[in-house]
Amino acid sequence: MTPDIISKDILISAPAETVYRVITEPAQIARWFADAAELDPVPGGEGTLTFEDRATNQRMAVKLTVQAAEPPRRFAFCWAPDGEQPHEGNTLLVEFTLTAEGDGTRLRVTESGFAALARPDQDKGGYYEAHDKGWDAHLASLHGYVAGQS
């Protein structure tokens, strides 16, 4: 049985407004997450994240649809793990929640929907494991990128 939710959090030494820009502006996303990003960061906005060297050994363009944009507290999007247009049965929800903590920001990312993917259990488990490891790497990269901006 594949778990349904990945949840990770980090403390970043920057205000929430700065962290929100880093997770929503295409030029900044391309510095810590995807190799290239096109994104309209408003509810209903669409975008594409292109992964080459940063997260995969094969080029992949992933389409997404923005579900929530509430600066500087919350940003969420749906994406499909196979590069297809997101639709019911192939969609994962990624949600970033930002909370002020001291002089910094607690960033929590959750990704859910693995159990509902219309895929064989082995594929779902593979997606879950790859994304779980991927978020560790991406959040470390985000932390380093923001630290370099300070």
- Identify the pLDDT of residue 57: 64
46-65 residue pLDDT tens: 999 998 876 666 688 999 99
pLDDT value of position 55: 60
Find the domain containing 119 and state its range: 5-149
Q: Strands (DSSP E) along 13-138, which ranges?
A: 36-39, 46-51, 60-70, 74-79, 92-101, 104-112
pTM, to two decimals: 0.93
Residue with tokens 């790497």: 137
Is residue 41 helix, strand or coil? coil
Q: What's the domain count of the chain?
A: 1
**Average pLDDT of span 101-130:** 93
Query: What does the pLDDT average to over 17-45?
Result: 96
Query: What CATH number should be reported for the domain holding residue 131?
Result: 3.30.530.20
β-strands 5-12, 46-51: how paired? unpaired
